[in-house]
Structure 1
Amino acid sequence: MTALNRFTVTLRDPKASIEDKRLALRFVVHIIGDLHQPLHAGGGDDRGGNEFKVTWFGKASNLHSVWDSGMVEQRSLSYSEYAGWLSRSITPEQTIAWTDPTPSVWIRESIALRKTIYPTDTNLSWDYAYQHRGELDDRLKRAGVRIAAYLNQIFDPAGNSPASSRRK
């Protein structure tokens, strides 16, 4: 949260250099995405699932890696194909509902989900992927909408963005 706030200040600072703003923009997008990954939402003593060892389709891994990339790559789509599919599946109602640019909301959602994703059997494959596919897709879609909402708030604080006009 501290880093997100600091980079937001840089983006809003008319005196910040273009290089500093580029870096800040990259980190804002990255941090918002991370806040939607349930294992980035604190808690526990396993370093966000990094020390929770699993096998993923027979290969040694950890739960954090499964959620960061394993379940995405398991889809066998390019990132652009997957992003396009996710984007097309977001309804206008979801866009409006998810437009809240408040990080504490996103974190609470991730914490609630984090409590449900630790498996009892650490040999993970199709069953685990299928069980959590909807949750993964939901978090990715929400992250995309919220990155846009947050950036709209930064760059148009008067609220003249398309999403804010739909809420009025």
Structure 2
Amino acid sequence: MKKFLLSTLFLCITCATAFSWGQTGHRVVGQIAYDHLTSKAKKNIQDILGDEQLGMVGNYMDFIRSDSTNDFMSPWHYCTIPDGKTYEEAGVPEEGDAIQAITRIMAELKTKQFSYDTELENLKYLVHLVADIHQPLHVGNGKDLGGNTVKVDYMWDKSFNLHRVWDAGIIDNQKLSYTEYCNWIDHATDDQISQWQSEGIMVWVDEAMGYRKNVYDFPEDGKLRYEYDYKNLSIVNERLLKAGIRLAGILNEIYG
């Protein structure tokens, strides 16, 4: 019984680290990407998606977590780079991580030779994981399971941890639908789009790490109120926008 309980606890902790942008966040990234696709890419992607929409499929990898046969995908949602180390110094875990998964899926979508599942499945994985790696706490420091063990009182709700605040709390606190959110933040210039789409995955990771000081800057009592939102909302919006723009760049290259 003790062994069973420990195994269950480990599984819960492992799964907790894999949670990502909430449903609104993933839909924002997918919709922004769709809005920046070429006409050819839109047609080719829609042929794969059928009746589904790019703005809605980003949550798929969270939905399939209910099936334990997909547990091997949990490490794909994040990577761990301790403070003061590079990705190379930290080393790639045997089970893989977000960087490895994104790189592999991009290559397989180009060659149509898939290690897991179909082109449709892998397209959904890519939409999800590009968004994930832009969430600062999905590039963890190796100390607190990406903020999952940091309990906080967010807007008078004590059920939060720091990871959940960044996944969904700040976004949902704006009280916008995902289409309203897209209209609010999607104002990138042509120069910004060109620059962001030219930057590789390690730039995305370095950006995420660069926000650690902001993420962990809160009172010792763990009470996160309007000031925390005010200081970090622009970061959340920038990460969502860059994720969508960069995802569009990848999909245009593959399908456009």
Q: Once superposed, which parts of structure 1, at least 4 consecutive aligned residues long, lie more than 3 Å away?
A: none
**Residue matched to 1:108:** 206
Gaps of 5+ in 1: 157-168
Cα offset, 1:25, TM superposition: 0.8
Q: Does 1:128 align with 2:234?
A: no
Cα offset, 1:120, TM superposition: 3.3
Structure 1 vs Structure 2 CA RMSD: 1.8
State the aligned residue count. Answer: 154
Q: Does 1:82 align with 2:181?
A: yes
Q: How many Å separate the matches in 2 of 1:15 and 1:145?
A: 26
Aligned mate of 2:118, from 11, 15, 20: 20
2:153 match: secondary structure: strand
1:56 partner letter: Y
**Residue matched to 2:247:** 147
TM-score by length of 2: 0.56
Contact map agreement 1:101 1:149 (CA 8 A) in 2? no
Q: How many Å separate the matches in 2 of 1:14 and 1:49?
A: 36
Cα offset, 1:76, TM superposition: 0.7
Contact map agreement 2:133 2:205 (CA 8 A) in 1? yes
Cα offset, 1:114, TM superposition: 2.0
Percent identity over the alignment is: 35
**Residue matched to 1:92:** 190
Contact map agreement 1:11 1:154 (CA 8 A) in 2? yes
Gaps of 5+ in 2: 1-98
Cα distance change, pair 151–51 in 1 and its aligned pair in 2 (3 A):
same
Q: Does 1:65 align with 2:164?
A: yes
1:99 match: secondary structure: helix
